[in-house]
Amino acid sequence: MDISGAYLNAPMDGAPVYMKLSADVSRAITELDPLYRDYVRPDGTVIVKLMKALYGCVQSAKLCYNHLKTTIESLQFCANTKDQCVFNKPINDIQIIIVFHVDDLMKTCSDEYFLTDTVLAIDLKNTKTPRLSVALFTPMSV
Protein backbone atom coordinates (compact mmCIF):
# COMPACT_ATOMS: atom_id res chain seq x y z
CA MET A 1 0.00 0.00 0.00
CA ASP A 2 1.39 3.37 -0.99
CA ILE A 3 0.52 6.49 1.01
CA SER A 4 0.03 9.19 -1.64
CA GLY A 5 1.77 12.42 -0.77
CA ALA A 6 2.93 10.90 2.52
CA TYR A 7 5.28 13.75 3.36
CA LEU A 8 2.53 16.30 2.71
CA ASN A 9 0.41 14.71 5.46
CA ALA A 10 3.03 15.48 8.12
CA PRO A 11 2.92 18.93 9.71
CA MET A 12 6.21 20.83 9.64
CA ASP A 13 7.36 21.60 13.17
CA GLY A 14 10.48 22.89 14.85
CA ALA A 15 12.45 25.72 13.29
CA PRO A 16 10.58 27.41 10.44
CA VAL A 17 11.62 26.40 6.91
CA TYR A 18 11.32 28.96 4.12
CA MET A 19 11.35 28.28 0.41
CA LYS A 20 11.70 30.55 -2.58
CA LEU A 21 9.23 29.67 -5.34
CA SER A 22 10.44 30.33 -8.88
CA ALA A 23 8.68 32.95 -10.99
CA ASP A 24 6.93 30.20 -12.99
CA VAL A 25 5.65 28.44 -9.88
CA SER A 26 4.68 31.79 -8.35
CA ARG A 27 2.60 32.61 -11.44
CA ALA A 28 0.81 29.25 -11.16
CA ILE A 29 0.19 29.75 -7.42
CA THR A 30 -1.26 33.25 -7.94
CA GLU A 31 -3.66 31.80 -10.51
CA LEU A 32 -4.83 29.24 -7.94
CA ASP A 33 -5.05 31.74 -5.11
CA PRO A 34 -5.02 35.50 -5.83
CA LEU A 35 -3.99 36.15 -2.19
CA TYR A 36 -0.43 35.31 -3.25
CA ARG A 37 -0.29 38.29 -5.65
CA ASP A 38 0.39 40.55 -2.65
CA TYR A 39 3.57 38.56 -1.92
CA VAL A 40 5.13 38.41 -5.40
CA ARG A 41 8.58 40.00 -5.27
CA PRO A 42 10.00 42.27 -8.02
CA ASP A 43 11.78 39.28 -9.59
CA GLY A 44 8.46 37.34 -9.77
CA THR A 45 9.30 34.91 -6.96
CA VAL A 46 7.42 34.28 -3.72
CA ILE A 47 8.95 33.34 -0.37
CA VAL A 48 6.82 30.83 1.55
CA LYS A 49 7.00 29.20 4.96
CA LEU A 50 6.41 25.45 4.73
CA MET A 51 3.42 24.23 6.73
CA LYS A 52 3.82 20.58 5.73
CA ALA A 53 6.85 18.35 5.31
CA LEU A 54 8.25 18.44 1.81
CA TYR A 55 10.46 15.85 0.14
CA GLY A 56 14.03 17.11 0.16
CA CYS A 57 13.94 18.87 3.54
CA VAL A 58 16.32 17.32 6.06
CA GLN A 59 13.65 16.78 8.73
CA SER A 60 10.83 15.59 6.44
CA ALA A 61 11.55 11.85 6.67
CA LYS A 62 11.41 11.97 10.49
CA LEU A 63 8.24 14.12 10.43
CA CYS A 64 6.63 11.66 8.00
CA TYR A 65 7.62 8.72 10.22
CA ASN A 66 6.22 10.43 13.33
CA HIS A 67 2.95 11.24 11.56
CA LEU A 68 2.51 7.71 10.21
CA LYS A 69 3.46 6.18 13.57
CA THR A 70 0.89 8.36 15.35
CA THR A 71 -1.73 7.41 12.76
CA ILE A 72 -1.07 3.68 13.13
CA GLU A 73 -0.95 3.87 16.94
CA SER A 74 -4.28 5.76 16.92
CA LEU A 75 -5.74 2.56 15.45
CA GLN A 76 -4.54 0.64 18.56
CA PHE A 77 -1.42 -0.83 16.98
CA CYS A 78 1.74 -1.15 19.08
CA ALA A 79 5.24 -0.59 17.74
CA ASN A 80 7.40 -3.69 17.88
CA THR A 81 10.14 -3.32 20.50
CA LYS A 82 12.80 -4.75 18.13
CA ASP A 83 11.87 -2.81 14.98
CA GLN A 84 10.09 0.56 15.18
CA CYS A 85 8.72 0.17 11.64
CA VAL A 86 6.75 -2.96 12.55
CA PHE A 87 3.37 -2.57 14.26
CA ASN A 88 1.18 -5.30 15.75
CA LYS A 89 -2.46 -5.41 16.72
CA PRO A 90 -3.98 -8.52 18.25
CA ILE A 91 -7.75 -8.94 17.88
CA ASN A 92 -8.98 -12.04 19.71
CA ASP A 93 -6.93 -14.85 18.12
CA ILE A 94 -6.03 -12.78 15.06
CA GLN A 95 -2.87 -10.72 14.57
CA ILE A 96 -2.64 -7.78 12.16
CA ILE A 97 0.90 -6.74 11.26
CA ILE A 98 1.92 -3.56 9.47
CA VAL A 99 5.47 -2.95 8.28
CA PHE A 100 6.37 0.36 6.69
CA HIS A 101 9.26 1.91 4.86
CA VAL A 102 8.99 5.63 4.01
CA ASP A 103 5.52 5.74 2.39
CA ASP A 104 5.00 2.05 1.59
CA LEU A 105 3.07 -0.23 3.92
CA MET A 106 2.98 -3.99 3.89
CA LYS A 107 0.12 -5.42 5.91
CA THR A 108 -0.80 -8.96 6.72
CA CYS A 109 -3.65 -10.67 8.51
CA SER A 110 -5.43 -14.00 8.20
CA ASP A 111 -8.83 -12.23 8.22
CA GLU A 112 -9.57 -10.14 5.11
CA TYR A 113 -12.21 -8.06 6.93
CA PHE A 114 -9.77 -6.73 9.53
CA LEU A 115 -7.14 -6.12 6.88
CA THR A 116 -9.53 -4.11 4.68
CA ASP A 117 -10.84 -2.16 7.68
CA THR A 118 -7.29 -1.22 8.69
CA VAL A 119 -6.37 -0.10 5.16
CA LEU A 120 -9.48 2.08 4.93
CA ALA A 121 -8.78 3.67 8.33
CA ILE A 122 -5.20 4.54 7.35
CA ASP A 123 -6.36 5.94 3.99
CA LEU A 124 -8.97 8.15 5.66
CA LYS A 125 -6.46 9.56 8.12
CA ASN A 126 -3.96 10.38 5.35
CA THR A 127 -6.13 12.02 2.70
CA LYS A 128 -6.77 15.35 4.41
CA THR A 129 -4.10 17.25 2.47
CA PRO A 130 -4.53 17.55 -1.30
CA ARG A 131 -1.34 16.84 -3.24
CA LEU A 132 -1.16 20.29 -4.87
CA SER A 133 -2.56 22.71 -2.37
CA VAL A 134 -1.56 26.28 -1.69
CA ALA A 135 -2.44 25.47 1.93
CA LEU A 136 0.97 23.81 2.15
CA PHE A 137 2.59 27.25 2.26
CA THR A 138 2.17 30.53 4.09
CA PRO A 139 3.28 33.49 1.98
CA MET A 140 5.81 35.78 3.63
CA SER A 141 6.75 39.42 3.10
CA VAL A 142 10.53 39.70 3.00
- Judged against a pLDDT cut of 70, whether residue 25 lies above it is answered with yes
The pTM assigned to this predicted structure is 0.69
User: What would the DSSP string read from start to end of 107-134?
Assistant: EE-S-HHHHHHHHHHHHHHT-SS-SS-G
* 85-119 confidence digits (pLDDT tens): 999 988 888 888 888 877 777 888 887 777 777 76
Dihedral of alpha carbons 44, 48, 54, 55, sign = positive
Spatial CA neighbour of 59 closest among 13, 8, 3: 13
Rounded average pLDDT over 17-32? 92
Spatial CA neighbour of 58 closest among 5, 104, 14: 14
Q: What is the DSSP letter of 14?
A: S
